[in-house]
Amino acid sequence: MKPYQSITIHECGEPLVPIPLETFAAVQPHPYVCLGAPYGDRSPYWLRESVLAALHQAQAYLQHQHPGWTIQIFDAYRPVAVQQFMVDYSFSTLAQQRQQQPEALTAAVRQALLAEVYQFWAAPSLDPATPPPHSTGAAVDITLINAQGQAVDMGSPIDEISIRSHPDYFAPEGEHRDDTVHHHRCLLKKTLAGAGFRQHPNEWWHFSLGDQLWAWQTQNQTQQRCIARYGRVEA
């Protein structure tokens, strides 16, 4: 159990709505769909209504500062079945990268690899009290597209299981300093923070608004009790 999962959820009942892909850039075809992830009659491009409104606000700020730039949606809503599928896929991929066969791992090695995966992927819990953030429709994975229609350099790909994914990995005070990449990551964070989103501590691309992780981060910053307003959306 992660610390943020202790946050109370008072589900507000707000609907999940499709993201207008004519307004935002989007990664298509969606990579998880291409892998066979079981979305059913839903799509990776859905969010809670107020979360989508905040995303529009973030993009308006971005385009005021950088005309012609857009937010690119990589991923948003995930049923728990998709979360399970991607955790399994990520675990298998990580094992193969380490020259190991998933089915031949010892219990200790399996647990160590899973611990790495769970730094970046939430457990696919069906417990209503501990939903994966993306399964609430309140989390979105994004990057930026510049005025030339090119993806902005963020220093590492979305979903990379590596410390390079940490938001401040390329910060000036660190040994991996890259001022351009760090500036881009800071711009992304500022763009989303201005609309009320909070960034995942391990993932430069992951932002949420109204879920447990958001409430936990807000509570830690303000020192005032905060609850989540979005729980799991049934597939």
Return the CATH class of domain 3-80+126-222: alpha beta
Distances (CA, A) of 151 to 19, 57, 71, 148, 194: 20, 20, 10, 9, 22
Mean pLDDT, the chain, whole residue set: 95
Express each pLDDT in 21-63 by its tens digit. 999 999 999 999 999 999 988 899 999 999 999 999 999 999 9
Express each pLDDT in 124-165 by its tens digit. 999 999 999 999 999 999 999 999 999 999 999 999 999 999
Contact call for residues 62 and 69 (beta carbons, < 8 A) = yes
Helix 179-193 to helix 49-65 angle (10° resolution) is 130
203 is catalytic: yes
| Residue 235 in this model has a pLDDT that exceeds 70 | no
| Residue 174 in this model has a pLDDT that exceeds 90 | no
Among candidate residues 22, 103, 116, 203, the one labeled active-site is 203
User: Which whole number is the average pLDDT over 92-116?
Assistant: 88
Picking from 85, 71, 72, 73, the residue whose alpha carbon sits closest to that of residue 33 is 85
pLDDT confidence bin for 200, thresholds 50/70/90 = very high
pLDDT confidence bin for 234, thresholds 50/70/90 = confident
pLDDT at 15: 97
Distance CA 47, CA 69 (A): 21
Contact call for residues 20 and 59 (beta carbons, < 8 A) = no
- What's the chain's Rg over C-alpha atoms? 18
User: Which whole number is the average pLDDT over 5-26?
Assistant: 96
Distance CA 187, CA 235 (A): 34
Give me 165's structure tokens: 């994914």
pLDDT at 98: 84
